[in-house]
Structure 1
Amino acid sequence: MRKALLLLVVLSAFVAGCESKYKDPDPQAMGYDYYPLEIGQYRVYNVEETFYFNETPSNLNYQLRERIDTSFQDQTGQLVYKIIRSKRSDASIDWLDDSVMTVSKSPTMVMLTKDNTRYVKMVFPVKNGLEFVGDLYNTRQVEGGAGGKLRNGKQVYTFQNVGDNYEVSGNSYSNTATVLQNFYSINTILDDRFEVYAEGIGLVHRVYKRINYKSNTHDDGYSITDGHEREEILIEHGKL
């Protein structure tokens, strides 16, 4: 009887230890809420975009909406969300659907697929200094002279300012995480790309600048020859 009782105590301790070892991670500690996914959620951005070609700029200003439309399970059983992107010139115009992308979120990463190309948008846990490769699952390679840290010919992204307040366009967000994709600046090249995510909201600010310059012999300055600038600022979010 005593042996049976001892065996029962040891077995109970073993089971309790296993339950403690394999319990689900704390979502807040992992940073899952920096990239929320729920059917009906939407975000609206003001977008300013400029293309430079042969020193001539072409400007675009419009609004972009990303709406989580439906979800489904892929062939591996992973839950995937379908996101519809719509555009309009301003709030007085109806939305016009522009493109579709899909997003899946596992315990270790967020994967976005757009135009049949997969991108790692975020990894978990979210913490300062953690690095990851956004183009790990696609064929994109970094061209020479792009600056920044590379891994097997691909740009390395880094988490910064995790948990910090962030202000943009008059709006303040109390808990954010910045994904620095690259910052490289010399006289003839500017590559400045980053994304800021707010807890419980998602992406609130995106900057993309890849600009090439040439020197001006007449004034010792520089002018833009070609490139692309784009900024997205969140102006509205909610659930339909």
Structure 2
Amino acid sequence: MTVQKPFFKYICILALAVAMLLSCNKHENAPALDMGLQYYPLKENSVSIYDVDSTVYNDFNNSTTKYQFLIKDTVTNKYIDATGNTAYRIERYKKSGTADWSFQKVISRKVTSNRAEEFLDNRRYIRLVFPPVLNLKWNGNLYNDLERWDYTITLLNEKQSVNTLNFDHTLTVEQINEVNFIREDVYIEKYAKEVGLISKEVRAIDKDISSGKIKRGFIYKMQLNSYK
């Protein structure tokens, strides 16, 4: 049987339309890629308060000094930075004992399409990359004058508790973990979805090679106390 040309043309057009419709429906129904931006939320007027325990070792006078205080980070406003991106200004305050909050410094943070940056103490760091992937590595010091540190995501979408706070979705970033007989450099940060940074731990110490005793350096632990 011979198919008439007009009818054949109509069949081709109909088939093409159905194919396009199915393609559109498939695209519309496909789940959106989770970029993980919720791990580094930035919102004006948000406040995070941290408990800080710090121990400083001094081999000059063989002293060990412990400090306990609170840190408060407040997002005061957003602005367009020199690169044309939206950045957020964070004011950091410190409180010891019954003293009033005292201003410490200004921090700038921003999120681009694939990374979270923090400008702290005149240096820019890449704190996270998006989407976060387990065991993913990147140079956190790419935009500053420090040596290369290969940040690594060592835990992802894990439940964790900090102080009395419980979080269903967290990730852990190991910024550096170099330990030997005479030196330890361990920097670890943890983030929770919709909250941001929930803890930071640092061990930057020199040790006696024979006894393993700490000679100099500091150990620092910062844990989220409250947020809003």
Distance in 1 (CA, whole Å) between partners of 2:165 and 2:13 is 61
RMSD: 3.0
Which amino acid in 2 is paired with 1:167? S
Pair 1:62 & 2:69 matched: yes
Tell me the CA shift for residue 107 of structure 1: 1.6
Q: For structure 1, list consecutive stretches of 5 or more residues without a partner in the other structure.
A: 142-153
The DSSP-based 3-state class of the residue aligned with 1:139 is: coil
Q: 1:52 aligns with which of 57, 62, 71?
A: 57
Residue 231 to residue 7, structure 1, CA distance change in 2 (3 Å): same
**Stretch moving more, 8-17 or 190-199:** 8-17
Q: Percent identity?
A: 26
Tell me the CA shift for residue 56 of structure 1: 2.2
TM-score computed with the length of structure 1 as normaliser:
0.80
Distance in 2 (CA, whole Å) between partners of 1:78 and 1:13 is 40
Distance in 2 (CA, whole Å) between partners of 1:202 and 1:116 is 22
Match of 1:207 in 2: 201
TM-score computed with the length of structure 2 as normaliser:
0.84
Pair 1:236 & 2:215 matched: no
Pair 1:189 & 2:206 matched: no
Tell me the CA shift for residue 192 of structure 1: 1.8
Match of 1:149 in 2: none
Tell me the CA shift for residue 34 of structure 1: 0.7
Deviating beyond 4 angstroms after TM superposition, the runs of 4 or more aligned structure 1 residues are: 2-18
Distance in 1 (CA, whole Å) between partners of 2:109 and 2:144 is 15
**Stretch moving more, 76-85 or 164-173:** 164-173
Residue 4 to residue 67, structure 1, CA distance change in 2 (3 Å): farther
Q: For structure 2, list consecutive stretches of 5 or more residues without a partner in the other structure.
A: 1-7
1:78-137 CA-partner distances (Å, limit 9, x unpaired): 1010000001113x4322111001111012000111222110010001121111111011
Residue 208 to residue 26, structure 1, CA distance change in 2 (3 Å): farther
The DSSP-based 3-state class of the residue aligned with 1:30 is: coil
1:131-179 CA-partner distances (Å, limit 9, x unpaired): 11110111101xxxxxxxxxxxx12111122011112334321110000
Count of aligned pairs: 220
Which of these two proteins has the greater Rg computed from alpha carbons? 2
**Stretch moving more, 116-125 or 52-61:** 52-61
Tell me the CA shift for residue 51 of structure 1: 2.1
Match of 2:101 in 1: 95
Pair 1:159 & 2:149 matched: no
Match of 2:4 in 1: none
The DSSP-based 3-state class of the residue aligned with 2:131 is: coil
Which amino acid in 1 is paired with 2:122? N
